[in-house]
Amino acid sequence: MWYNNRKLFPFSVDKPLELSPEIIQKNAKEVQQLLHAALVTSLDISLDKLPDVFFYLLERIVPYDTALLYVWEPRKQWFCRGIEERVPSNIETGNMFTKFLKDTMQPLFITSSKELDIPKEEFPLDFSSMIGLPIYIDTRTIGCVEIYRKKGKAFNFDDLVLTKNLILFSEKALIDSLEFGRSVDNTLDIRIDTPQKNIILDILHQYEEQARRLSYELSVAIVAIRDLYKFGLSLETNGGAQTLKLLAKKLKGTFRCYDKVIRYDESSFFVILPGCSTKEAKVVVKNAMRSLGKNTSDNMVSGIATFPAEAQDSRSLHNAVIQSLSHAKKNGSDCVSFTDTGMLKPLNQSLELDVKRLLLYSVPTTDELGKLLDLIKIQTQAKEISIRKTPPGKAIKWGNKTLGYLSLKGLPKEVYSWIITYLAPAWAVVKRLDTDIANWHTSILAIASLLSDLRASYPMGYSLRISDHMYTLARALGMKEALANKWALSALAANIGYLGIPTSLFTKTKVGYFDTSRIRKHPIISASMIRDMPALDLDREIVEYHHENMDGSGYPRGLKGEEIPLGARAYRLVDTFNAITSPRLYRQGLPLERAVEEINTLSKDLIVDPGITSVYMNIICS
């Protein structure tokens, strides 16, 4: 099944499936049908009837030949429509696509079954195109929908978006039919009306992982009662305690259906807001407080924090929202974000999602170039770095052409020389002096690698040097030019995950267990950032597995020997050599002779690949 999952990864979808204005305009009739799904939420409908209604609506919006619906929680159920010929074996337990959706929580979009590198006899049924979508209740996948077409017009991206939104429109009916209680949150197995402060971090960790995987922002809030006695409550009486339990349920009803409201402690509530920026979270929280009535809202206060803009993981997000609430109480404010407190240090700000958006979705425009400069400004702590059409400013040349001028303040000269080397090619694509859009994305990747070097306190250009060595080693191993270039580009992406980790962790004199664990997540973050990047041919395995050791002692997966892809083994060797020869904040680099001895020892101990080591050492020593 791992084999099939791997074969299906190229067909997974890792971008928002939103009803954009373009999709709505192109599919006006279908969107109108979509709105009828909202009627389902007002019906008292049992689970055994819900699939019939869902299949009916789906067929009117996205015509299909066969549909399968699987529900795993709270009890296993399956439903189908349109199976007329061969019945899939073990249909009640699902198929390779079902397992992929359950394991990865990623949508599947296959426009042609001929593109699948899987024998046709392994298909669950005959089809030409298919769509698969997981069904979520908060962070938990509780089922999936699969629809197939046997022939004719293939499913398109609009069909995928429409199906996803039908599932969202039907969510309330599904929750109600599955009898997920209001006092008990079955998705997290906790009560929402009793204090759950001790397990908040575990819950937040689930949401953090999902936010990283699906590339959305995650805001949290603590909504607290300023004065219980002023509020007319006493926890020493049954009436006071009962009123607070009821308030938890009432507060839950004021938020969006996919937000999470949990009793935090005796007098406050923890709110989790997936997909919300800080600005949006403020609006949602304030509106929720107002909806409780003026007397109640006047005696309530809230603090907000957002991942990744204001925190890099679940632990720092929890700390940030606590500080936001404390600041709000001290200053008499009703709602305060972590940015409002003035405690957010820009250098520790996560650049992960911003860089990912530039890599995956940006187009060569002056506005997008400005966003790239904003990221450079944050990481380099420059006071100003912006584009100007006319002087004053530093003239940026491309051949004999002037691209424009950079207004600079506070950017170190040694950093500028590296940055401008890769900024100029991107600018040339914006100006249409270079028509190869791949150079735009290559420049963004190179600059991201420079910023990650800065964040991790590596010497400037460290990742570029690794990239050069990877190209040379690939050619020495007999690789063709195209594959050598692929290795080199992938090496640039290996450490960009550092941009999702606070700079402060890399400058500590002592790094504890939890900090080490956070730093060791960077290969997974890097791999997520370049997943489905269409413009550049990158090897995701090099990026994700570049810290695996031959003896199985590496991370993040603990792969061993031949389980580690060749490119990742090559990177591990090249990176290790360059790491021990490069100066760091806490030590000097080793001289060449000592470094060669160290690498040979690591080869004998099966940390790095002995076969590749001999080839690379010949390159280094020559």
Look at residue 96 and tell me whether its pLDDT is greater than 80. yes
Last residue of a domain, one of 177, 209, 236: 177
538 shares a domain with 507: yes
- The model scores a pTM over 0.85: no
DSSP of 458-526, one letter per residue? PPTTHHHHHHHHHHHHHHHTT--HHHHHHHHHHHHHTTGGGGGS-GGGGS-SS--HHHHHHHTTHHHHH
> Which CATH number fits the domain that encloses residue 246?
3.30.70.270
Give residue 121's pLDDT.
84
In this predicted model, which residue has the larger pLDDT, 235 or 245? 245
Show Cβ contacts of residue 310 under 8 Å, excluding neighbours closer than 6 positions. Answer: 278, 317, 320, 337, 338, 339, 344, 349
Query: 583: cis peptide before it, omega within 30°?
Result: no
pLDDT beyond 60 at 440: yes
pLDDT value for 425: 95
Identify the pLDDT of residue 190. 45
Same domain, 586 and 445: yes
The answer on 545 and 457 residing in a single domain is yes
Among 162, 177, 192, give the residue marking a domain's end.
177
Structural domain harbouring 313: 184-344
pLDDT band, residue 551 (cuts 50/70/90): very high
Of all residues in the chain, the percent with pLDDT exceeding 90 is 42
Residues 153 and 296 reside in one and the same domain = no
CATH number reported for the structural domain that contains residue 391 in this entry:
1.10.3210.10
If asked whether residues 220 and 313 sit together in one domain, one would say yes
Same domain for 292 and 389, yes or no, is no
Give the tens place of pLDDT for each residue, 349-366. Answer: 788 888 988 988 888 999
Residue at a domain's end among 344, 364, 383: 344
Q: Which of 225-229, 434-438, 469-473, 522-526 has the lowest mean pLDDT?
A: 225-229
Specify whether 392 is located in the same domain as 517.
Answer: yes
Examine the pLDDT at 181 and tell me if it is beyond 60. no
CA angle at residue 433 from 496 to 532, to 5 degrees? 35
CB-based contact 334:286 (threshold 8 Å): yes
Whether the pLDDT of residue 550 is over 90: the answer is: yes
Q: Are residues 496 and 557 in the same domain?
A: yes
Instruction: Of 307, 138, 157, give the one whose Cα is nearest residue 219.
Output: 307
Residue 462: CB partners within 8 Å, gap ≥ 6?
453, 578, 582
- The number of domains in the chain is 3
Claim to verify: residue 225 and residue 162 sit in the same structural domain: no
Residue 369's pLDDT is 95
Same-domain check for residues 31 and 105: yes
pLDDT at 309: 80
Q: Is residue 1 over pLDDT 60?
A: no
Do 515 and 575 have their domain in common?
A: yes
Strand partners, 273: 219
What average pLDDT score do residues 325-342 get? 89
Residues 51 and 159 grouped into a single domain: yes
Instruction: Provide the terminal-to-terminal Cα distance of the chain, rounded to the nearest Å.
Output: 45
